[in-house]
Amino acid sequence: MSARGVFVTFEGIEGSGKTTQARRLSARLLTKSVSHIVTREPGGTPLADQLRSILLAPREETVFPETELLLYQAARAQHVRGLLLPALEDGKAVLCDRFYDATFAYQAHARGLEAETVGMLNRFASGDLVPDLTLLFDLPPELGISRASRRGAADRIERESLDFHRAVRNGYLAIYKNDTSRIVLIDASAPEEEVFRKLQETVTERFGW
C-alpha cells in the first residue's frame, strides 16, 4: 500500500494568482513524475460542480449567508469523500484551489457568520481532513480585482464591494496569524515568476519537490 499523499491548498482573494500558481506547480510535478491531481472548491466532482454553478451564478433572489455557507459545505462534503480522500489514500498529492480557510475568510469574516458555527461545519464537511500545507497568496484587493476583471463577466461573489474583498483579505491574514506552521504567506503582488520561485522554495523544503 502506498503512503498517504500530500495535501496542499491554495488560498487568497480573487485575482491573487492561486490558479496560475497551482497550474505551474502541477507542471513542475509532472517533470518530476510526482503523481498528483489538481482540483478546486467549490467543485471537483459532477455534483460539487453543479453546486459551484448554483453558488456563482448572479441572481435576482437574495442568497442568504446561511444558505451560501451550507451550499459550500455540501460541495465540500462531496469533494472530500468523492475525490480528495481516495486520491490521498492512493498516494497521490492533491493541489486544491481553495479549501476550508476560504469559508472562514468569506462566510465568517466577510459575511459575518459566527466563526464557531463555520468551524463546526468545516470539520463536519471535511471529515477532519487538514491540509499539510496552505499557500496564502496575499495582495491588495484593488490589484486582485483589476487582474480578475481582465477575465470577463464577474460572477456573484466577484460583484461584491471593495469593502467585502478587504474583509476577506483581513480574514485570511487573521487565519494565517493563528496557524503559521501550516500556512505560508506569499506576496502575490510580485511578478508571476517571482511568486513561483517563493512557492518552489517552500515545497522543496517541505516535500523535496
Minimum CB separation from ligand Z5A for residue 208, in Å? 25
Task: Spell out a b/e string for 136-155, using b for 16 or more CB atoms within 10 Å of the CB, else e.
Answer: bbbbebeebbebbeeeeeee
Q: Around 102, how many Cα atoms within 13 Å sit in the side-chain half-sphere?
A: 24
The residue (of 56 and 133) whose beta carbon lies closer to ligand Z5A is: 56
Given candidates 36, 98, 109, 169, which one binds ligand Z5A under the rule CB under 6 A? Answer: 98
CB nearer to ligand Z5A: give 91 or 182.
182
Residue sitting closest to ligand Z5A (CB): 17
Rule CB under 6 A: choose which of 16, 39, 126, 134 binds ligand Z5A. 16
Residue 173 · residue 153 · CB < 8 Å: no
15 binds ligand Z5A (CB under 6 A): yes
Which range of residues in 37-45, 59-67, 128-136, 201-209 is near ligand Z5A by CB under 6 A? 37-45
Phi, psi of 147 (to 5 degrees): -65, -45
Q: Which of 12, 44, 141, 171 binds ligand Z5A (CB under 6 A)?
A: 12
Q: CA–CA separation, 207 vs 209, rounded Å?
A: 5
When binding is defined by CB under 6 A, the residue of 51, 95, 102, 184 that contacts ligand Z5A is 102
Supply 144's cell numbers. 486582485
- Provide the β-strand partners of residue 8: 95, 133
Task: Choose the stretch contacting ligand Z5A; rule: CB under 6 A; options: 59-67, 88-96, 179-187, 189-197.
Answer: 189-197
97 binds ligand Z5A (CB under 6 A): yes
- Estimate the share of the chain in helix, then strand, then coil, as percent rounded to the nearest 5: 55, 15, 30
Return the half-sphere exposure (C-beta side, CA atoms, 13 A cut-off) of residue 147: 19
Chain positions contacting ligand Z5A, by CB under 6 A: 12, 14-20, 40-42, 72, 97-98, 102-103, 106-107, 147-148, 150-151, 157-158, 191-192, 195
